[in-house]
Structure 1
Amino acid sequence: MNNIKNNLLKSDETLDDLQIKNIKIIQKSNGFRFGMDAVLLANFAKVKKGMRVMDLCSGTGIIPFILAGKTEAEKIFAIEIQEDMVEMGNRSITYNNLENKINIIKGDIKNVKMLKNFDKFDIVTVNPPYKLKNSGLFESR
């Protein structure tokens, strides 16, 4: 790994090989890591050549990275509310040179005004967090 790519990885993170076109994703060593549900969802989505995709509740962007490796989507957008996840996802984009393919932004999917600023999409995926009521990061606002 060259110095630029090496600087993208922090000491408490891992660089995990997705086994798809040499794409790797940065994740915390301890804490949230993508699961089989996200892999299944990405493989369930029927993305055809030239399609525009939006992934909601994206975390570090596992679904966009799988789709970028397995499909010919034109562009894949992702929205995630947690700044640290967005930041890791964006470092993974840089690591994999996918700036022209994937765009992860920080945002709340409940913000209708923000969502209306996007163009239309051919496919929308979402793998929301599942927790008991009032047990998540943003307990009753």
Structure 2
Amino acid sequence: MTPADDNDLTRDAFLGGRLHLWQPRQGYRAGVDAVLLAASIPATSGQRVLELGCGAGTAIMCLNSRVSGLHLAAVELQADMAELARCNGGDALEVFTADVADLPVALRQRQFDHVLANPPYYDRGASVRSDHAAREAAHGESTPLATWVKVAAKRLAPKGQAHFIQRIERLPDLIRALPGDLGSVEVLPLAAREGRAPERVILRARKNGRGAFRLHPALALHAGAQHSEANKDYVPAVQAALRNGAALRF
């Protein structure tokens, strides 16, 4: 399944060329965050996975590329992005065009072993809207972060895991939103380089988990003190996740 010839789309390589996905040429385009979120999910063959707000399907298809035999479903509000996700996922991915806050009955009747989400980063009560509709939908929070967390928790099977990537300043909001039946919370901060303050965080929690809260040491994405355009200088663990489709261990 491929979209019609459309100059507004590009077909881009991920995971070192193991995966190719259609994306809008302008506006929101998936990057490192989606790939790292997928790499952090310890899914195994045969499990059921749901992505909330999948965009063009980058994160869930990166996970599918690493782990075979998964049963995949995704939700996307924007009809054009949902259609791209269908094109990118083919028979492997069931895509629902719906609001995260109002899932279709077919999804509300199902449970999943993993639910992942890359919710919009910015609370528009404290930031400026983008003029680009797709970029605003991806980054500007219209549905509250707490709703994303609540919906993810409801769709989890017992012992299932929810996985989120967010900006570090939203971590308190993310933790406050966790319902009482999500425990065994782990947080992995992501920093650009050693000695830099983290800018992103991956949080995961388990349905009915009873483990102690764990704050892992920050993962520096790049080696060295300065960025080089000629060499992205990712540290080996991140390079392996981004280029080779390897798992990213907490």
TM-score (norm: length of structure 2): 0.47
Query: Structure 1: any 5+ residue segments left out of the alignment?
Result: none
Is the contact made by 2:64 and 2:70 (CA closer than 8 Å) also made in structure 1? no
**Distance in 1 (alpha carbons) for counterparts of 2:20 and 2:57:** 11
Aligned-pair distance for 1:64? Answer: 1.4
Higher strand share: 2
Partner of 1:16: 12
Q: In structure 2, give the amino acid aligned to 1:116.
A: R
Q: Does 1:127 align with 2:123?
A: no
**Distance in 1 (alpha carbons) for counterparts of 2:65 and 2:122:** 30
Q: Does 1:25 align with 2:16?
A: no
**Distance in 1 (alpha carbons) for counterparts of 2:16 and 2:61:** 9
Deviations 1:50-77 (A, max 9, x none): 1000001111111111011100242111
Cα separation, partners in 2 of 1:112 and 1:13, compared to 1, 3 Å? closer
TM-score (norm: length of structure 1): 0.79
**Distance in 2 (alpha carbons) for counterparts of 1:126 and 1:71:** 18
**Distance in 2 (alpha carbons) for counterparts of 1:85 and 1:9:** 16
**Distance in 1 (alpha carbons) for counterparts of 2:70 and 2:88:** 19
Aligned-pair distance for 1:113? Answer: 5.9
Q: In structure 2, give the amino acid aligned to 1:126.
A: A
Is the contact made by 1:53 and 1:123 (CA closer than 8 Å) also made in structure 2? yes
Q: Does 1:34 align with 2:34?
A: no
Q: How much identity, in percent, do the aligned residues show?
A: 28
Deviations 1:79-120 (A, max 9, x none): 011111101111223xxxx31x21121111111564423x11
Q: Does 1:83 align with 2:79?
A: yes
Cα separation, partners in 2 of 1:9 and 1:90, compared to 1, 3 Å? farther
**Distance in 2 (alpha carbons) for counterparts of 1:87 and 1:77:** 13
Cα separation, partners in 2 of 1:19 and 1:108, compared to 1, 3 Å? same
Partner of 2:88: 92
Cα separation, partners in 2 of 1:116 and 1:56, compared to 1, 3 Å? same
How many residue pairs end up in the alignment? 131
The match for 1:116 among 93, 100, 108 is: 108
Partner of 1:63: 59
Cα separation, partners in 2 of 1:11 and 1:51, compared to 1, 3 Å? same
SS in 2 for 1:46: coil
The structure with the larger Rg is 2
